[in-house]
Structure 1
C-alpha cells in the first residue's frame, strides 16, 4: 500500500534534510558538476577500456547512491558525490543510446524529454508537489533522483544535438543554452514565474550549459575546442568542486510547513 500523500511526523524527522538549500553556490557547483561529468565520462572511455570504465563508473554511482539513501540527514560531500556520479552516469546513458544503439541525437533528446515529462507527471500525481523543499519521504527522494538522472541524460543529448547534428559547435551551443538558462532566472525575479517551475527549468538547462562549455575547453582545435584536454579540464573542475563543497557545500533545504509541524510537537 502506498504511503499517504502527506508525510508523517516520523518521515519528516528522518528525511526532511536530504537535499541542499538553493543558493548561488548550489547553482555554481551544479554547473561545475555538469561540465566535469561530461568530460570525465569521455576521458574515461578514451583512456580506459569501456569494458572496465563503464562497470567501474556504475559501481561507484551505486555506492554513492546507497550512501545518500542511508544518510539520515543532508551531508554535503555525499550529496555532491552522487550528483557528480549522476553526471558521469547520465553522460554514459546518453552516449550509449546514441553510439551503442545508433539512435540520432534528435531522437535521443526527444526520448529523454518524454521520459522526464513522464517522471515529473507521475511524481506530481503521487505527491501533489514537485518542490525540492518537500523531499521528506523515501518515495519523494526516489522521484527526485530519477528526475535528476534524467535531466543529466537529456542535457547531454541536447548539447550533442546542437553541437553536432545542428552544427553549432560547442561554444555557440554553450552560449545558446546560457541564454535559455537565463529565462527562468529572469522570469522568477521579474515576471513572477512559479518557484518550482523556474527551479526545474533552470536545473534542466544547467546540464547542456556546463557540458557545452566543458567540451569547448577540452576538445581539440580541429573539433572546435580550445584543446586543453579532457583529463586536464576534468581535474581542474574536480578541484573546484571539492573546494566549493568543502567551504560552501550548503545547508539542508527547509520547508516552513514541515518545520511548523515539528514545532507543534
Structure 2
C-alpha cells in the first residue's frame, strides 16, 4: 500500500516531517512492531511473573521517556520513531487488558468506548488542524494529536481483536485471516480511488489485531493450534526483524521520498463517494461473518462464560459409570497433580503436567467414546476448559482452580 496518503504541506515537509512515507516498508514494520508488542508484553507479564498492573506502570514510564525523545527531534529518525511505535503498541494493549482482566469491563463495552474516543480525537484534531493526514505532521500540536490517535488505535485494535475471538471462538491461526482480508480489501479500495486518509487509518487500526493474532499463533502451544514458539522466542525473532528493517531504512532512506519520487494525485470526489459505499459493503459483510461465526457452537476462548460441558451437573459415578476405573483413575491423578501445582503457584509445572492429561485422553478416545458417547462429550468439554484455563496467555488462578475442581468432581 505505497504512498497511501497523498496530501503534503509544501517544502517544509522535507525538513520538518516527523513520520515516514507510507511505503510498503511502513506496513511491514508496523505489523512487526504490533506483533512484538503483543508477545513481549505477555512475556514480561506472564512468563516473568511481573503482573499486569506493574507491567502497565513500567511501560507507561517508558512511553513517556521514548515519546519525549521522539518529540524533541526535528526530523524523522527511523530508530526513534519505530521504537515509539513498539512502546505505544505494548502500552495500548496493556490498557485494554487492564480494563478486561482487572476491572472486568466487557470487551463489547471497551470496544465501543475506544471507538468513541478515537472519533473524538479525530474530530478535535481535524477541527483544529483541518487535516488528519500523517504527511502534515510538521508541528508539535499535530504530532501530539498523531501519537494520541496512534495510542487509541492500538487500544481499540486490541479490544476489537479480543472481542472477535470471544464471540467466534476462532483459534489464533484462523483469526489472522479476517484482519488480513479486510486490509487487502482496503488496499484495493484505495487503489480504486477511496479517500487516502480514511483508508490509511482503517488499515492502521486493523494491523493491530492482525499483528496480535499473528503473535498468538506463533507463540501459542501446538495443542491450542499454534506453532509453539513461545512468547520469548517470538519476541526475539520479531525484534531482530524490526532491527534489520530499521537498519535497512536508515541506510537506504527508502521511506523518505523526495518530490521527484513522490507521485501526488488530486482526489476524485466522485470516486471517493463510490468507494465509501464499497467500504460500507465490506463492513456489512465482515459483520455478517462475525454474526454467523458467533452463532456456531464453540467454547468461549476468554473463559468469561462456562460452556455447557463445564456447567453440567453430574454427580460422581454418573458420567464415568461406563468407563474403566483404571483409566478414570489415571485422569483423576493427573488432574489432582495439576490442581496442586496451580494452588502452589507453579504455573509452568502445571502446564507440563496437564499435557499428560491431554495425551492420555486423546490416546483413550478410541476406546472410551464408543462406550458412552454422551459421557465422553461431557468429559471432553471439561478437559478442554481445564486445558484452556491452565494454558491461557494470562492465567487466572481462580478460573484454573474452578475448572480443575469441576473436572475432579466429575471424575469422582
Task: Provide the TM-score with structure 1 as the length reference.
Answer: 0.87
Aligned length, in residue pairs: 247
Q: 1:181 to 1:109 in 2, by over 3 A?
A: same
Higher relative contact order (CA 8 A, sep 6+): 1
Deviations 1:47-66 (A, max 9, x none): 13225433322222111100
**Equivalent residue for 1:177?**
179
**Equivalent residue for 2:156?**
154
Deviations 1:85-126 (A, max 9, x none): 001101101101111110111211111111111111111111
Q: 1:134 to 1:102 in 2, by over 3 A?
A: same
**Equivalent residue for 2:129?**
127
Q: 1:253 to 1:198 in 2, by over 3 A?
A: farther
**Distance in 1 separating the partners of 2:138 and 2:258:** 10
Task: Give the structure with higher Rg (CA).
Answer: 2
Conserved in 2, the CA contact under 8 Å of 1:39 and 1:215? yes
Q: 1:222 to 1:229 in 2, by over 3 A?
A: same
Deviations 1:14-55 (A, max 9, x none): 972210111101100001111110111111101132254333
Deviations 1:211-238 (A, max 9, x none): 1111111112343322210111011000
**Distance in 1 separating the partners of 2:119 and 2:258:** 26
**Distance in 2 separating the partners of 1:226 and 1:160:** 19
Conserved in 2, the CA contact under 8 Å of 1:15 and 1:135? no
Give 2:147's match in structure 1, choosing from 117, 138, 145.
145
Task: Provide the TM-score with structure 2 as the length reference.
Answer: 0.57
- Alignment of 1:40 with 2:78, yes or no, is no
**Equivalent residue for 1:118?**
120
Report the RMSD for the aligned CA atoms in angstroms.
2.2
Give 2:61's match in structure 1, choosing from 59, 62, 67.
59
**Distance in 1 separating the partners of 2:257 and 2:141:** 17
**Distance in 2 separating the partners of 1:65 and 1:255:** 28
**Equivalent residue for 2:383?**
none
**Distance in 1 separating the partners of 2:166 and 2:39:** 16
Q: Secondary structure at the match of 2:74?
A: coil
Conserved in 1, the CA contact under 8 Å of 2:56 and 2:95? no
**Equivalent residue for 1:109?**
111
1:13, distance to aligned residue in structure 2 (A) = 7.5
Give 1:78's match in structure 2, choosing from 77, 80, 85.
80
Conserved in 2, the CA contact under 8 Å of 1:134 and 1:255? no
The structure with the greater share of residues assigned to helix is 1
State which drifts further: 107-116 or 215-224.
Answer: 215-224
State which drifts further: 201-210 or 162-171.
Answer: 162-171
**Equivalent residue for 2:194?**
193
1:165, distance to aligned residue in structure 2 (A) = 3.4
Gaps of 5+ in 1: 1-6, 257-265
**Distance in 2 separating the partners of 1:237 and 1:65:** 22
Q: 1:168 to 1:255 in 2, by over 3 A?
A: farther
